[in-house]
A and B are shown apart, each in its own frame.
Chain A
Amino acid sequence: MRPRKDDEVLVDVLDVLLRDGAIVRADVIVSVADIPLIGIKLTAAIAGMETMTEYGLFEEWDLERRRSAITRRQYGRRDPEVDRSEAISVGSHSSN
């Protein structure tokens, strides 16, 4: 048989995009507390699905780490991990 690669099976790889792919660890990558950040809303939307276990990135530890990192930023407590991503400015969109 030959492999299929059409719209019908594209979904096969869409969830992989959220979970796999090259991981970059570098100061230049946008991240919160050193974790490459996938959008919080997106994370929550996916997390709400029954397929949670399919999404390695959205395991509980990950959400918790993201949320605690965000909490630290929100309340002004900084630690070395957060300092590494200090180039990220949090606030209103000032440019487009």
Chain B
Amino acid sequence: MSFDDPSESTHIADGSSAEHPDGETPEIDEGRYLYCLVCADEDADLEQVGVDGEPVSLVTADGIGAVVHPTNELYDSADIAEIRRWLVRHQTVVDAAADRFGTPIPFQFDTILRGDDDRVREWLRTEHGTISSALESLTDHWEYRIEVVDVDPISDERLIEQDDRLGKLQARIDDSEDGTAFLLEKKRDHRLEEVRVARREQIAADLEARLAELVREVHTLERSPTVGLADDVTDGGADGGETYCRLTVLAHADDEGAVGSVLDQVAATDGLEVRFTGPWPPYTFAPELGGDRSSEESSGGVDDQPGGRVP
């Protein structure tokens, strides 16, 4: 899916520029770009260069700090390289805040709060209960992402040896005339596919069950690999294989080693490669703030996002 009408796309793209007073991109008289929320005292600070080179600061209220920079516009671009640079800066700032203050509540890219620092403080105080309990609950918990790839698929011959039905089918094929053999081969190929899918699903289900015993939450992601922003980045060697599963887990830092051990066992299986990344800020497990105001309106929206926070 994409914008089908290039003229419309162009029109929208042009809309945010100063030459187009009828543009659609909202302008903000004064706003604060939000990176994350952390536990921080009143006198704490954080010096970082933010998205688009903006100076980052920490706005605190009642023991909670919002990592922000001032902005009067939304970050919008059709240039993937520029988007990537922004995203990397966003992630770098959140990482720096996490190093300094512990597990943050990370915001989605381009979350902008209208108003000045005082308005941010006011909002922190309004949401204090939700934010502080979420921060407390996430303390020392991080998101880890896991991908299991079959880089050396098991051969048909081995599957035929291992599966009774396949063995019998193969024996009948070997004893049959051409016409009958052709039909039996179709059956065999169908069975081979069934066995392969069952193997994949079994490995994924076993892994998920074992991880669920170790971590607070496990979410299953789409099997298709993410390549969208990887144009000029090596994707870590997951090429050339079939992805068995992609998972993201919320785990305590102390359990990282145990998760790694489980993954070692999966990686010991012939042909399987495991990609394990993290610790990341808990993006997938971040709470919704202020969600009681328009739950009905939002019911068909953000909450239903595929690959989102609810498996």
Contact = CB atoms under 8 A, between A and B. Distances in A.
A38 to B, nearest CB: 5
B146 to A, nearest CB: 9
Interface stretch (B149-157, B181-189, B207-215, B259-267): B259-267
A34 B109 contact: no
A56 B78 contact: no
Nearest to A17: B109
Interface stretch (B38-46, B167-175, B194-202, B276-284): B276-284
A89 B16 CA distance: 12
Interface of B: 1-3, 9, 12-13, 15-16, 18-29, 31, 34, 37, 72-80, 83-84, 87-88, 90-91, 105-115, 119, 123, 127, 144-145, 222, 224, 226-230, 233-236, 256-257, 260, 263-264, 267, 274-280, 283-284, 286-291, 293-294, 297-298, 300-302, 305-309
A91 to B, nearest CB: 5
A15 B76 CA distance: 15
Contacts of B275: 4, 9
Contacts of B229: 11, 14-15
Q: Most B CB atoms within 10 A — which of A20, A65, A73?
A: A20
Contacts of A1: 260, 263-264, 267, 274, 276
B12 A54 contact: no
Contact of B288 (A22, A35, A48): A22
Nearest to B302: A23
13 contacts: A9-B236, A13-B283, A14-B88, A22-B106, A25-B288, A30-B112, A38-B76, A39-B77, A44-B78, A59-B1, A63-B3, A65-B301, A95-B72
Contact of B91 (A17, A24, A26): A17
A12 to B, nearest CB: 5
Nearest to B301: A35
Contact of B226 (A48, A51, A70, A87): A51
A39 B228 contact: no
Contacts of A10: 88, 91, 233
Given A14-B91, A32-B26, A41 B288 contact: no
Given A1-B263, A47-B1, A89 B29 contact: yes
A16 B284 CA distance: 8
A16 B18 CA distance: 31
Interface of A: 1-5, 7-26, 28-30, 32, 34-42, 44-63, 65, 67, 70, 73-74, 81, 85, 87-96
Contact of A19 (B21, B24, B305): B305
Contacts of B274: 1
B224 A53 contact: yes
A26 B110 CA distance: 15
A59 B274 CA distance: 29
A87 to B, nearest CB: 6
A54 B226 CA distance: 7
A42 to B, nearest CB: 5
A20 B24 contact: no
Contact of B24 (A9, A57, A70): A70
Given A8-B234, A17-B90, A47-B2, A28 B12 contact: no
Nearest to B274: A1
Contacts of B276: 1-4
Contact of A34 (B227, B228, B297): B297
